[in-house]
Structure formats: structure tokens, C-alpha cells
Amino acid sequence: MKRAPILIAILLTLAAAPLVGLAEETSVCVPCSVAAASAASLVDAHVGGLLQTMELLASTADLQVGVWTGMRDLLARFEQLPISFNAWFLLTDGSYYKVESGLTGKNLSDRAYFPKVMAGETTLGDLVVSKSTGRKSMVMTVPIVRSGAVVGALGATVYLDDLSALIANALELPSGLGFYARTADGRIALHAAPDLLLEDASTAGVSAAAEALSEILGWVVVVGSTTD
């Protein structure tokens, strides 16, 4: 238990390390094909770092014990990663705890990812409107297993408007160029205009000049001229 703060400090350093280099590489205007590839890589660096940290946390005794008071401070430190998200501890009945509010009084058993993570499957990429905040988000969950049984899950709600702004600021595209990311089912997952998030990709207002694939999420990042 006493080693937990050291572990988190190491994880935060590892997760943040690739982000600095990518931000530096994309800090100037680049051709659309390079910009699209850089944006996809930056998404994967942020999400991949978050996922790796979640998997390591889920393997610690602090979380496997399944007692909120024993993990709250650990998850508060976890939320210090550069990417904007909320961490939560999901119980097997669908109720969940959040760092800032404790037990929320809400239930996530109706979410598509719930039966998957409770069956021991890691999930990521689910786009939702957060029940706690009302913000458009992407959800990631990692099962917490003790003695071969799933005793809960570690969840992260990644805010799509903040992630979009993070990518846009790194790309620094010139006036007249824009970017967005679309999911396999044609919804907008990332866009500089928050009101377009989760809408159909046909409303993105960007004429594609180049595309790149996020290997972790399967989202297609599009860069091109803005049409409005």
C-alpha cells in the first residue's frame, strides 16, 4: 500500500512522456497528410498512455480490495494526466464512485460497455453524454479482477471538447484548414466546434484533403479546407 504514490508518480511520467515530443513536432503548420498523421498519433499517445495507466492501476491491491476510501486518493492523482478526464470506480451493480463527489447515486448498468467490462473485457471508444456532467465524452473501462472474479471496474470519461482543443492547439492549422475525427459508424468524435460532436460526419464542414487512422480507437482523422 505504501508504494502506491511512487507507482503513480512513475506512471504519470511514463504516460506524459510521448505527448511532449508529439506536441513539439506538430507545433508548426505542416502539409495536410502529415497533419492528419500527427493528429492520429497524438490521439493514440494520449489515449494509449491513459489506457496503459488504467491497466496498471487495476492490477494494484489498492483497487482490487474494492474499498472506495482506500483508492480515492490514488485516483485523484491519476486524474493529473495531461488529458482531460474523470476517473471512477464502477461496482458490479452499476453504481459508481467519482473522485470529487463519492458515490454518485446514478447507475451505468444500461451502458453498452457495462456487460462487457463485467465479463472481463477492456472497453474503449464508447461515445456517450455523461450522466454526471452532461458533457459529450468517450468512455474507457478496465475490469478489476481479484481471485479470478471481476469485482468492479476502473473507468475514465474523456471529454471530447477538451481532447479536440488539445489536438487543435498542437496542430496549429492555418486559417481555412480544419480537422475532425469520425467513428466507424460515421459520427464526429473530435472537432474544434463542440456543438458538432457526436453529430453525423456529413455536418463536419471540412473538405477532406488527407486522412489518417487512429490505431487504438479506429477513428479516422480528416484534415482539409473548411467549407463554411
Helices 32-58 and 68-78, packing angle to 10 deg: 160
185 inside domain: no
Listed in sequence order, the DSSP H helices in the chain are 4-25, 32-58, 61-64, 68-78, 113-118, 160-171
**Confidence band for 9, pLDDT divided at 50, 70 and 90:** very low
Q: Give me the mean pLDDT over the 185-202 stretch.
A: 97
Rounded distance between C-alpha atoms, residue 52 and residue 196, angstroms: 29
Is there a domain that residue 210 lies in?
Answer: no
Q: How far apart are CA 195 and CA 225, in angstroms?
A: 19
**3-class DSSP assignment, residue 149:** strand
Going by pLDDT thresholds of 50, 70 and 90, the confidence category of residue 31 is confident
Does 172 reside within a domain? no
Q: How confident is the model at residue 57 (pLDDT cuts 50, 70, 90)?
A: very high
pLDDT value at residue 150: 97
Q: Name 61's Cβ contacts closer than 8 Å, sequence gap at least 6.
A: 1
pLDDT band at 23 (very low <50, low <70, confident <90, very high): very low
Q: What's the pLDDT at 218?
A: 97
- Nearest of 133, 128, 122, 118 to residue 183 by alpha carbon: 128
Amino acid at 109: S
| pLDDT, position 3 | 47
Q: Is residue 97 part of a domain?
A: yes
For 38, half-sphere exposure in the C-beta direction (CA atoms, 13 angstrom radius) is 27
Does a structural domain hold residue 32? no
User: Residue 83 has what pLDDT?
Assistant: 83
CATH number at residue 91: 3.30.450.20
Range of the domain at 147: 4-11+47-160
Single pTM value for the model: 0.84
Strand-strand pairing, 85-90 and 136-146: unpaired
Confidence of residue 19 (pLDDT cuts 50, 70, 90): very low
How confident is the model at residue 29, as a pLDDT? 39
Query: What is the total count of domains within the chain?
Result: 1
Domain for residue 113, yes or no? yes
In this prediction, residue 106 carries a pLDDT of 94
Please tell me the predicted confidence (pLDDT) of residue 12: 47
CA 86 from chain center: how many Å? 9
What DSSP string describes 67-130? -HHHHHHHHHHHTTSSS-EEEEEE-TTSEEEETTTEEEEEE-TTSTHHHHHHTT--EEEEEEE-
Greater confidence (183 vs 19) lies with 183
pLDDT in tens, 134-174: 999 999 999 999 999 999 999 999 999 999 999 999 998 88
Q: What is the pLDDT of residue 81?
A: 82
Assess if residue 64 is contained within a domain.
yes
Check whether 177 has a pLDDT greater than 80.
Answer: yes
218 lies in some domain: no
